[in-house]
Structure 1
Amino acid sequence: MTPRNEEMKKSFIQKVFATRESIGRKMTKDSFDSSEPQPDSGIHKRLFSGLGTPMPNFQDIQSFRVFVATWNVAGKSPHGDLNLDDFLQVQHESDIYVLGFQEIVPLNAGNVLVIEDNGPAAKWLSLISQSLNISPYGHKPVLTFDTKPLTVGSQKPAIATGGSLFFQKTSLKTASKIFRAETTRRLKRCNCTAELERKNSKDSCFGCQQSSAGADDLSSEEDDADEPSGFVISEITTPFSTNQMKYSLIVCKQMVGIFVTVWVRTELVQHIGHLRTCYVPRGVMGCLGNKGCISVSMSFQQTSFCFICSHLASGEKEGDELRRNLDVIEILKNTQFPKICRTPNSRMPDKILQHDRVIWFGDLNYRIALSYSDTKKLVEKKDWHTLLDKDQLKIEREGGRVFKGWKEGNIYFAPTYKYSYNSDTYAGETIRSKSKRRTPAWCDRILWHGDGIRQLSYIRGESQFSDHRPVCATFLVDVGVINDGLLKKELSNSNIKVGLKSPLLHPIDIFIE
């Protein structure tokens, strides 16, 4: 190609993308300025989906199944034979699993102030992988726990003969790398437009942050500094290697008792980008991490996602719901995701509500505004409709005081709190002291914000492991996906010859005819 043609090529590319960005900004502004409802058509979806800005007309919509679950495990460490198959509904496979736990450690002074024990987090990771990663031959990883140090000659995890993975006494960060062995290699892509990638490098925006986006390079250095350290030694034995796993661990974070982990179908990992996390403590004096949230932001193809796992203020006295409202308001206000793209035009949002798809889950702790005896009668009748009319979260949402604009599925299951351990009996039946007796309530909830999310199920699990029952929801979520054929057609209509290999990972070769 002659220098003149090279200059013409560069000039043409700049004009094409400058025009597209200009049109996109105008369409975005007009759509937000207009008070009229936007049409819900296929064309509208194609134009207005993807990373918070209008979607170019070379993108399509695909729907993916997302499973979200929350479980307050009451400070109990899991035992090796705890089966999570029912909890994870493995018989109905999803594309993404987002799991949030509360109180994975007892909320005592030692754990709140020193964060001295994250052993249970490593065990939960092992159990989750055991259920999700059933081999093609129907085998499941065999999990055992050992409390004695294992000599492998290094403080780092090692793979022993026979496919056994050994954890030394080290941080949760190191433990998570065992499950992210393949993920680390695949998570190099950001999902910015081809223009933004050309301005940087072929290794994408993760190349701006790190030359290779490692498992724990996905959050800010500040997040890593706050990460807990030290856990009980465990041993995991798998009959197949990590690169044969059906699901890959994308991110896992812990703040005292709150623990979040995200797993993605392995073949989809290459489409995940912009992984970031943010912590907001809301415990004692609004500073400690015994209450609060962990939020995860990421892009999947061309659509931005935000997942928030929270444990809000407890208490069933009148007025305690206002403290929970304040927690939500402060979380929305103070959650700020770090910027990982150096490009000034990066479209990844840094606030929760700026994301395309948002799901909030956790022990929200809202109670039922009835006496214990009245609540008990309605529970026995399974009169969920009457009971929900007294649900604090429903009352506060309808009053516009919290979660305004958010959605929640219909509840057709019994209150999830508080049960006697290893029993299906509410604790109030066995506790004589009225001061310690807790009225049954739907403390554990899942809500969502944004279009393109359709809930398929909203149920509770029946495990007796904790005084809470887990709550699970399955969603069908719309995601913007690049259509190579449409992109090639759009560019060919501009009287140019196009060579496309991968529109996200490689620059577009354009030759002036």
Structure 2
Amino acid sequence: RRHFSAVCVHKAIVHLVSDIKSHAVPTGVYDTLGNKGGIGVSLKIGISSFCFLNAHLAAHQNQMCRRTQEFMRISHEVAKTIGISKKPGSMDSSSDGDTNDSCGDSASAESNEGMMMMVNNADSKESSDSSSTASSTCKACSFGPSGGCVMCSSCRGAKTTIGGRGVTAHPSCTKINPLSTAFDFVFWAGDFNYRINGTRDIIDNLLENNMHRILINNDQLMMLMQYDPLFKGLKEGPITFRPTYKFDKESDTYDTSAKRRIPSWTDRILYKAQTNVGLISYSSAQNIRTSDHRPVYSTFTAKIDFDKCHDYDNIQVPLWSCQVKSEVCVIS
């Protein structure tokens, strides 16, 4: 299998596209193999810079820290390698005018208590699934309202205060995500592999009783987006669909194998929050059953800027097509 990304541009705006770049970041065994990793494709439309990323992060319930480290590494490498310098007067990257807030943005104290209950009942069977768990990583790393990792003692001993607000960051993620300053628009999709904390029986019961809010409040990525500065500036549309993993193939039934994987929203789409992007839709294709995942999709609008002194009409397609480049991250 291969990890592949394609960015398609409508012919009506091809003449506006320039500065196409791409970069692949392997995060598999010894950070060398491409069985896990990410691909970034950057370009300009007018003078607005875009970055489209696709990633497949570390699997298993207990590898939350590893996933976050990979997310950080991909972010930094892509920003450093293909980041597009902004021109004076470009869009304000720090503004946030999108009205479609992430479900995780307004978790209450009550929901955090539910989170703690679920974490403390984490399935011990899932903790033994991965043979590559390093002693330095958390077994089920999650963040609580008082700050820091609520599960692992190693993280509690290395807390870093954020902005004097009493919220602490994971020791590996104390810097703000560099993609937000490297590009005007960022869209990041993929199998992030973040899970819902809890046991299989608990999650099944919550699904059967349509207790969607509790599931959301115990989602690992939602927790990180509230407390970890690595995710600052990134947003996600409201999750209104059922967990997208793991299904029996050609079936709507969650994993009935001996491993009984916990249903989770492993497949996600994040985007840079700012006034010039609008979320139209965010959902999953539940009728596509060829995989043990259900694909997710999203639609956005983007307001782009132009250089008024530039004659875009005289740009020839052959000049644009010479910039096309392909990056492939091999999945073993």
TM-score bin, normalised by smaller chain: 0.5 to 0.7
CA offsets, 1:348-404, max 9 Å, x none?
A: xxx733100001110000000011011111112222211010000011121225412
1:326 maps to 69
CA shift, 1:481, in A, is 3.3
Distance 1:386 1:370 in 2: 11
Partner of 2:216: 388
Of 35, 58, 61, the residue aligned with 1:290 is 35
Partners in 1 of 2:52 and 2:83 — Cα distance? Answer: 17
1:438 counterpart = 2:183: no
Question: 1:474 aligned to 2:299?
Answer: yes
Partner Cα distance (2:285, 2:68) in 1: 26
Which of 455, 460, 464 is 2:279 aligned to? 455
For the residues of structure 2 that align with 1:282 and 1:410, how far apart are their CA atoms?
29
Q: Map of 1:209-220 to 2, 5 A cutoff?
A: none
**Does the 8 Å contact 2:16/2:312 carry over to 1?**
no
Equivalent position to 2:81, from 317, 333, 337 = 337
Instruction: Report the Cα offset of residue 505 of structure 1.
Output: 4.3
By relative contact order (CA 8 Å, sep 6+), the higher-ranking structure is: 2
Distance change >3 Å, CA 503–CA 279, structure 1 → 2: closer
8 A contact 1:382–1:414 mirrored in 2: no
Deviations 1:414-449 (A, max 9, x none): 00000011111111xx22x2xx22000000000011
CA distance in 2, matches of 1:340, 1:389: 35
Query: Aligned pair in 2 of structure 1 residues 269, 389: CA closer, same or farther (>3 Å)?
Result: same
Mark the runs of 5 or more structure 1 residues left unpaired by the alignment: 1-104, 106-256, 488-499, 507-513
Gapped regions of structure 2 (runs ≥ 5): 91-177, 316-332
Distance verdict in 2 for CA 1:400–1:423, change over 3 Å: same
Equivalence map 1:184-333=2 (5 Å): 257-317=2-62, 320-333=63-76
Aligned partner letter, 1:454 = G
Is contact 1:384–1:413 with CA below 8 Å preserved after alignment? no
Provide closer, same or farther for how the CA distance between residues 396 and 504 of structure 1 changes in structure 2, counting only shifts above 3 A. same
Residue 406 in 1 paired to residue 234 in 2?
yes
Distance, in Å, in 2 between the alignment partners of 1:383 and 1:477 is 34
Q: Percent identity, please.
A: 35
* Change in CA separation of 1:300 and 1:288 when aligned onto 2, cut-off 3 Å: same
How far apart are 1:328 and its partner, in Å?
1.0
Change (3 A) 1:383 1:300: same
Aligned partner of 1:310: which letter?
A
Counterpart CA distance in 1 for 2:282 and 2:263 is: 19
**Could you tell me whether the CA contact under 8 Å between 1:384 and 1:411 is conserved in 2?**
no
Cα deviations across residues 31-81 of structure 1 (Å, max 9, x unaligned)? xxxxxxxxxxxxxxxxxxxxxxxxxxxxxxxxxxxxxxxxxxxxxxxxxxx
The farther-off stretch of 375-384 and 458-467 is: 375-384
Q: Following TM superposition, by how much is the alpha carbon of 1:337 offset from its aligned partner in structure 2, in angstroms?
A: 3.0
* Pair 1:437–1:402, CA change in 2 (3 A): farther
TM-score of the aligned structures, taking structure 1 as reference length: 0.41
**C-alpha contact 2:15 2:313 (8 A) present in aligned 1:** no
d(CA) in 1 for partners of 2:312, 2:68? 44
Asked if 1 retains the 8 angstrom alpha-carbon contact of 2:42 and 2:83, the reply is no
AA aligned to 2:25 is V
- In the superposition, relative to structure 1, how do residues 381 and 258 fare at CA in structure 2: closer, same or farther (>3 Å)? same
Structure-2 change in CA distance of 1:368 and 1:334 (3 Å): same
SS at match of 2:8: strand
On the 8 A contact 1:303/1:479 being kept in 2, the answer is yes
The match for 2:111 is: none
Give, in whole Å, the separation in 2 of the partners of 1:263 and 1:479.
Answer: 17
**Aligned-residue CA RMSD in angstroms?**
2.4
CA 1:448–1:379 in 2, change beyond 3 Å: closer, same or farther? same
> Which residue number in structure 1 is paired with residue 166 of structure 2?
none
* Higher Cα Rg, which structure: 1
Alpha carbons of 1:355 and 1:285: their partners in 2 closer, same or farther (altered >3 Å)? same
- Distance in 2 (CA, whole Å) between partners of 1:395 and 1:294 is 25
Q: CA deviation at 1:312?
A: 0.6
Q: Equivalents in 1 of 2:280, 2:237: separation in Å? A: 9
The answer as to whether partners of 1:325 and 1:401 remain within 8 angstroms in 2 is: no
Query: CA–CA distance in 2 between the matches of 1:426 and 1:300?
Result: 42
Q: Which residue of 1 aligns with 2:179?
A: 352
TM-score with structure 2 length normalisation?
A: 0.62
1:450 deviation in Å?
Answer: 4.2
